[in-house]
Amino acid sequence: MIRIIVVDDHQLVRIGIRRLLEDVAGLKVIADAGSGEEAVELVRELKPDVVLMDIQMPGIGGLEATRRCLRAHPEVKVLVVTIYEDEPYPSKLLNVGAAGYLTKGADIKEMLLAIRKVHSGQRYICAEIAQRRALRPFSEADTSPFDQLSTREMQITLMVIMGINAQDISEKLSLSPKTVNSYRYRVFEKLGIKNDVGLTRLAIKYGIIDAEVAA
């Protein structure tokens, strides 16, 4: 039996995935979470086999949640399930230890295949992402300035873009506000921008977030 936790900040998505999986032999959704923080606690407590992880969520988000889940339970397999197809998301998540990357456009057959693949110790990347990653080294158009950011810098970048202030970021990440601001200005320097507005515009330009999210 593959024991699964579903992580997504939209309740309807969590309910939908639960219903898709509840009648599948050999699978059992043992819990769901609406935030990265909740996911980490559930992984620590329940020791699931597979976590279906969204990326863009309130709080620490899927990137840091993936890292913390793996730290809490190294045997767990994290399968990212997201709307985001463009870099740097796939590379960042796979680099911190995600076992697979699936878009929400996938059908149930592909989701089941991905779950079983990652549970067996294999890596699964959906066709759209695999193709983009295969072509990326040969295409300048696919490069992104966000690729140069470290995992921590990218994490703080996402939180800044979502409008979370330095004090709240520091509390969520157990860093001092001064350290958070140091990261922010390091990001500004690497990306060649001057403020949060410039950061948001650049993030929209390179597909890190949708314009509607930043509105």
187-213 residue pLDDT tens: 999 999 999 889 988 887 776 665 444
Percent of the chain whose predicted confidence (pLDDT) is above 90 = 48
Q: Which of 2-6, 22-26, 91-95 is predicted least confidently?
A: 91-95
Q: Is the pLDDT of residue 137 over 70?
A: no
Q: Is the pLDDT of residue 4 over 90?
A: yes
Q: Would strands 77-82 and 27-33 be described as parallel, antiparallel, or unpaired?
A: unpaired
pTM equals 0.68
Q: Which CATH number is 168's domain given?
A: 1.10.10.10
The mean predicted confidence, pLDDT, of the chain is 86
Q: What 8-state DSSP symbol labels residue 99? A: S
Same structural domain for residues 151 and 122? no
- 202: containing domain: 144-214
pLDDT at 188: 94
The confidence band for 144, taking pLDDT boundaries of 50, 70 and 90, is confident
For residues 3 and 203, which has the higher predicted lDDT (pLDDT)? 3
- What the block records as the tokens of 190 is 């690497």
pLDDT at 213: 46
Same structural domain for residues 12 and 107? yes
CA–CA gap between residue 34 and residue 11 (Å, rounded): 7
Overall number of domains in the chain: 2
For residues 134 and 166, which has the higher predicted lDDT (pLDDT)? 166
Same structural domain for residues 148 and 132? no
Percent of the chain whose predicted confidence (pLDDT) is above 70 = 89
pLDDT at 141: 47
CA–CA gap between residue 65 and residue 6 (Å, rounded): 13
Q: Is the pLDDT of residue 136 over 60?
A: no
Domain final residue, candidates 87, 112, 136: 136
Task: Give ∠ CA 23-39-73 in degrees, rounded to 5.
Answer: 95
Q: Is the pLDDT of residue 151 over 60?
A: yes
Q: What 8-state DSSP symbol labels residue 60? A: T
pLDDT at 129: 75
Same structural domain for residues 36 and 55? yes
The confidence band for 134, taking pLDDT boundaries of 50, 70 and 90, is low
The confidence band for 147, taking pLDDT boundaries of 50, 70 and 90, is confident
- Name the nearest CA neighbour of 87 among 45, 39, 136, 43: 136
Same structural domain for residues 157 and 96? no
Domain final residue, candidates 136, 168, 200: 136
Same structural domain for residues 15 and 101? yes
Domain final residue, candidates 107, 136, 165: 136
Same structural domain for residues 209 and 190? yes
Same structural domain for residues 131 and 150? no
